[in-house]
Structure 1
Amino acid sequence: MTDPILSLQDVTLSLDGNAGRVDILHGVSLDVQKGETLGMIGPSGSGKSSLLMLMGGLEQVTTGTITALDQDLTAMNEDALARFRRDHMGVVFQSFHLIPTMTALENVATPLELAGHKDAFERAEAELEAVGLGHRGDHYPAQLSGGEQQRVALARASAPRPHILLADEPTGNLDETNGAAIMDLLFDLRDRHGATLILVTHSHALAARCDRTIRLRDGRIAVDADQRAAE
């Protein structure tokens, strides 16, 4: 077996809050293979989103190590992590996180411009076409529906051709029809760009489409089953 594209070894996360120190993740170890689609499920408060944020270097581990593409994320400072995400990762959030003063096209082109791509707007236009929004490129987020905003967020995350695509409840704020469309787009983007897809979801339908699912409970991995074998 080849080396995993992402590896977590004995990862813990504790945060200080008003009520004192809160232990969120406890000794999580996990390997994700290149091209794999991994779904993370579990009840609210189980640590799913926190684990995803650690994978993306958006939160620092308390103890343990995270390696992505043979690079130790836990040894990087914030600037190095930002560059790593820019070059290798795409992140999709439940609440879209689009820049309200930029058009859909500008939102998608921005990470490409930051990475120095001279064809940023051409690639952004192609990604918007791929998610069915080529005709909405000059619209601002406030002029778009929730489903359309999530499509823009998907296009923005996939435009740099990331090796790893992280999605946190990508259908959580959408109705059933739009949620199903976003699910199809997520897997289409994975197929077109060959990205490794890791997603947090409460949707059993979305989790069932993954190669593998893990269940978190109380900050620990409770189940690590091969979804295809289960089917």
Structure 2
Amino acid sequence: MPDTVLTLKDVTLSLRSNAGLVEILHGISLDVTKGETLGLIGPSGSGKSSLLMIMGGLERATSGTVSALGRDLTAMDEDALARFRRDHMGVVFQSFHLIPTMTALENVATPLELAGVDDAFDRAAEELKAVGLASRADHYPSQMSGGEQQRVALARASAPRPEILLADEPTGNLDGTNGEAIMDLLFGLRDRHGATLVMVTHSRELADKCDRVIRLTDGAIDQAALQAAE
């Protein structure tokens, strides 16, 4: 039986707003196995990104449990969660989240330095080369296109060799050509490093490349869609 790297049991998420309590996720139970590629799809507002953030410990579940690599994320404090992400996870955001005052090389090297990697800049240079940006190592985010910035973000997420790679709409801000390039890079990174990949996407083409696709509707897993897929 394949190793399970992510397990969610009866996860709910409720957030308070000016209009009162908003129920975002309802009783999500889900296992993700080692090396699997899982696509999360569904209409805007269905809870896809919130679910991804809970998987990465970037958002706390209101109830239920979340385990990653056998560790209970729901029992960790913020410092422990940050260390766990540093050591085991890579996260790619739709809006890149690069540090504007750092070059591409420095952006990629930063998580490696925080993890105490001795050859942080050498490895960062290797990752930039792997995403086709060796010549842009000394450029700042403002000097790069959106597609280039997303490739830097991918290199940064993959440089620490994470067991789990989470991507939130990685092609959402890109045109078709750049989107296809990022798709190829994402799956290439998975193949090179053996990471488990979970991604939120509106792209049917990207979802179709995944081993498994789960559709969320109104904060719950669409069971009818699951049965149809089976």
Equivalence for 2:126: 126
Structural mapping, 1:132-171, within 5 Å = 132-171=132-171
Q: Helix, strand or coil for the counterpart of 2:110?
A: helix
Partner of 2:107: 107
Amino acid paired to 2:204 = H
Q: Which residue of 2 aligns with 1:87?
A: 87
Whole-angstrom distance in 1 between the partners of 2:97 and 2:80: 22
Matched, 1:22 2:22: yes
Give, in angstroms, the shift of residue 225 of structure 1. 4.2
Match of 1:49 in 2: 49
CA distance in 1, matches of 2:29, 2:6: 11
Question: How big is the shift at 1:29?
Answer: 0.1
Give, as a single letter, the amino acid of the residue that structure 2 aligns with 1:77. Answer: D
Which ranges in structure 1 are unaligned for 5 or more consecutive residues?
none
User: Match of 2:217?
Assistant: 217
Question: For residues 156 and 2 of structure 1, what CA distance do their matches in structure 2 show?
Answer: 28
Query: Aligned equivalents of 1:78 and 1:70: distance in 2?
Result: 18
Structure 1 residue 152: Cα displacement:
0.1
Separation (CA, whole Å) in 1 of partners of 2:50 and 2:102: 29
How much has 1:18 moved relative to structure 2?
A: 1.1
Query: In structure 2, the residue corresponding to 1:24 is in which secondary structure?
Result: strand
Number of corresponding residues = 229
Q: CA RMSD in A?
A: 1.3
Supply the distance in 1 between the matched residues of 2:51 and 2:18 (Cα, whole angstroms).
22
Letter in 1 for 2:46: S
Cα distance in 2, alignment partners of residues 133 and 225 from structure 1: 39
Does the CA contact (< 8 Å) of 1:212 and 1:226 recur in 2? no
Give identity over the alignment, percent: 77
The answer (yes or no) to whether the contact 1:212–1:225 under 8 Å persists in 2 is no
* Partners of 1:165 and 1:206 in 2: CA distance: 15
Dislocated runs of 4+, deviation >3 Å: 223-227
2:58 matched residue in structure 1: 58
Q: Any gaps of 5 or more consecutive residues in structure 2? A: none
